[in-house]
A = this chain, B = another copy of it.
Amino acid sequence: MTTAEFVHVTYLAHGKPGTDWLKKANGIAVGLTVGSWTDLPAARKDAMQKHLGHVADVKQIGTDPHGLEQAMLTIAYPTINFTPDIPALLTSVFGKLSMDGMIRLVDIELPPTFASRFPGPKFGIDGLREQLNAYDRPLLMSIFKSVIGYDTETLAEHFYQQALGGVDLVKDDEIFFDETYAPFEKRIAACRAAAERAQAETGKFTLYAANLTGPVTEIFEKARRAVDAGASALLLNVLTYGYDVLQRLAEDPRVNVPIMAHPALAGALYPSHQYGISAHVVLGQLMRIAGADIGLYPSAYGSVALERGETLKIAQALTEPNHVLKRAIPVPSAGIHPGLVPYLYRDLGNDQIINAGGGVHGHPGGSAAGGRAFNAAIAAVVNGKTLSEAAETSQEIRTALDLWGNPSETGTEK
Interface, chain A (partner B; CB < 8 A): 32-36, 47-48, 50-51, 80-83, 85-88, 90-92, 94-100, 102-103, 105, 145-149, 173-175, 177-178, 213-217, 220, 237, 240-245, 247-248, 262-269, 271-272, 274-277, 298, 303-304, 306, 334
| Min C-beta distance of A155 to chain B, whole Å | 13
Closest B residue to A215 using CB positions: B248
Bound-state CA distance A217–B303 (Å) is 37
CA A264 to CA B86, docked complex, whole Å: 13
On whether the beta carbons of B265 and A149 are closer than 8 Å, the reply is: no
B216 touches A245 (CB 8 A): yes
Is B275 a contact of A267 with CB atoms below 8 Å? Answer: yes
Rounded to whole angstroms, the CA-CA distance of A272 and B178 in the bound complex is 32
Contact between A266 and B214 (Cβ–Cβ < 8 Å)? no
A99 and B266 within 8 A (CB):
yes
In the bound complex, CA of A87 to CA of B238 (Å) = 9
Name the distance in Å between A146's Cβ and chain B's nearest Cβ: 4
Q: Which residues in B have their C-beta under 8 angstroms from that of A100?
A: 267, 303-304
Contact call A95/B237, Cβ cutoff below 8 A: yes
Chain B min CB distance to A285 (Å): 15
Contact A244–B241 (Cβ < 8 Å): yes
Known A35-B146, A145-B35; contact A215-B244, beta-carbon cutoff 8 A: yes
Are A271 and B266 in contact, with the CB atoms below 8 A? no
User: Once bound together, how far apart are the Cα atoms of A80 and B180, in whole Å?
Assistant: 10
| Chain B residues with CB below 8 A from A266, complex form | 98-99
- Interchain CA distance A50-B149 in the complex, whole Å: 9
Pick the contact of A272: B33, B105, B274 (CB < 8 A).
Answer: B274
How many identical subunits does the complex contain? 2
Known: A99-B306, A213-B88, A217-B248. A177 touches B265 (CB 8 A): no
Q: Are B268 and A214 in contact, CB atoms less than 8 angstroms apart?
A: no
Instruction: Tell me whether B90 and A240 are in contact (CB under 8 A).
Output: yes
Q: Determine which of B85, B91, B102, B303 lies in contact with A215 in the assembled complex, contact meaning CB atoms within 8 Å.
A: B85
Cross-chain pairs A/B with CB under 8 angstroms, 18 sampled:
A50-B149, A85-B215, A86-B240, A91-B177, A91-B262, A95-B175, A95-B240, A98-B265, A99-B267, A240-B242, A242-B242, A268-B269, A268-B275, A271-B274, A271-B275, A272-B272, A275-B276, A276-B276
Task: Verify A265–B94 contact, CB threshold 8 A.
Answer: yes
Q: A82-B177, A96-B175, A96-B304 are in contact. List 18 more A-B contacts (CB 8 A).
A: A35-B146, A35-B147, A36-B146, A48-B149, A81-B178, A83-B214, A85-B214, A88-B213, A91-B175, A91-B264, A91-B265, A92-B175, A95-B174, A98-B265, A98-B268, A215-B244, A216-B245, A271-B274
- A-B pairs, 6 with minimum CB distance: A95-B264, A242-B242, A98-B267, A99-B267, A35-B146, A87-B240
Is there contact, CB below 8 Å, between A95 and B265? yes
Contact between B34 and A149, CB atoms less than 8 A apart: yes
Q: Report B-chain residues with C-beta under 8 Å of the C-beta of A262.
A: 91, 95
CB of B81 within 8 A of CB of A177, answer yes
Tell me the complex Cα distance, A81–B99, Å: 33
Once the chains bind, are B99 and A263 in contact (CB under 8 Å)?
yes
Q: How far, in angstroms, from A174 to B97 measured CA to CA in the complex?
A: 12
* Closest chain B residue to A148, Cβ basis: B51
Using CB atoms, name the residue of chain B closest to A49: B149
Instruction: Decide: B35 and A173 in contact? CB cutoff 8 A.
Output: yes
Across the interface, which residues of B come within 8 angstroms of A268, CB to CB? 94, 98, 105, 269, 275-277
Complex CA gap A275/B272 in Å reads 7
Q: In the complex, what residue of chain B is closest to A276 when comparing beta carbons? A: B268
Q: How far is the CA of A34 from the CA of B263 in the complex (A)?
A: 20
Say which residue of B91, B216, B272, B306 sits within 8 Å of A240 (CB atoms).
Answer: B91
> What residues of B have a CB within 8 angstroms of the CB of A48 in the complex?
149
